[in-house]
Amino acid sequence: MKKIAIALIVLSVGFSNVSGQNNIGIFVGGGFTDLRMITDSSEFNKEINKTEFKLAKAYHGGFNFENILIERKLYLMFGIHAKSSGFSSHNDSVFFFIHNVHIPLEVKYKYFFSRRGEAYVYVSGGPYIAASYKGIKFDQYAIDQFLTDTTYMSPMFSPKIKFGKEFGDDIEPLDVGLNLGAGFGYNYLQIGYNFGFGIRNMIPSQTFEEFYEEGEFHDKIRNMYHTLTVGFYFSNK
């Protein structure tokens, strides 16, 4: 994890040193996010993800820096994004809503429709690292179940999500995954679709290890994103 973070920082410094060879853009958008449970049973996976982990609304915005490898064809894109994650369940009576700093590093290929034309389509893909810094949670179903016992109500139902690796934390603070994108651009405007999925287990590691050692807990939970964005680039090289 530390090596990935260091590599991304080094790359961002590199981008700033070659700003003359960059397409710099700003974008906003939104879509849906989800948490996906992965267990040893494919049938259980389908059932639990259909009933308990449902899509929640998400926002997505930030800056992209396209370093030109081959002009009007191939780019190395570095981004600094604000992006939400989470899930909803039981008609929104249960939900997690998490704010993240999302840093992707992608290879981007553009196909221009003519040699001097301004219209193009693109595809992109590459890894990302995301850090969660704030979040809220709500579980009306659990509140109703434990309403008669208020001894531990305050810590149990605190609306603030607790990030960490220890038993009792809600979710891991760092995520690593892969982004895939596609879209259309004309002159300085760009419309894009992004699909992202995490490869890191978001269950706090101490919780996972304690249950796993006892042979009772093999589940993993990973992030997933679908977003549409509209962007403006200050150049179209």
pLDDT band, residue 207 (cuts 50/70/90): confident
- On the question of pLDDT at 79 being above 90, the answer is yes
> Are 83 and 97 in contact, with CB atoms under 8 Å apart?
no
pLDDT-wise least confident of 24-38, 108-122, 205-219: 205-219
pLDDT in tens, 137-182: 887 766 666 666 655 554 556 788 999 988 888 899 999 999 999 9
pLDDT in tens, 44-57: 566 666 666 778 99
- On the question of pLDDT at 2 being above 80, the answer is no
pLDDT-wise least confident of 64-68, 114-118, 224-228: 114-118
Cα distance between residue 50 and residue 69, in whole Å: 42
Domain 2-233: state its class: mainly beta
- pLDDT value at position 167? 81
Q: Which two tokens stand for residue 126?
A: 């590459």
What is the number of helices (H) and of strands (E) in the chain?
5, 8
Q: What is the mean pLDDT of residues 187-196?
A: 96
The full set of domain ranges for the chain reads 2-233
- pLDDT value at position 71? 87
- pLDDT value at position 77? 97
- pLDDT value at position 142? 64
pLDDT in tens, 86-117: 988 766 667 889 999 999 999 999 999 987 77
- pLDDT mean across residues, the chain: 82
3-state secondary structure 22-80: EEEEEEEEEEEEEEEEECCCHHHHHHHHHHCCECEEEEEEEEEEEEEEECCCEEEEEEE
Q: Which is more confidently placed, 79 or 138?
A: 79
The answer to pTM > 0.75 is yes
Question: 152 Cβ partners below 8 Å, 6+ apart?
Answer: none
- On the question of pLDDT at 18 being above 50, the answer is no
Cα distance between residue 84 and residue 62, in whole Å: 12
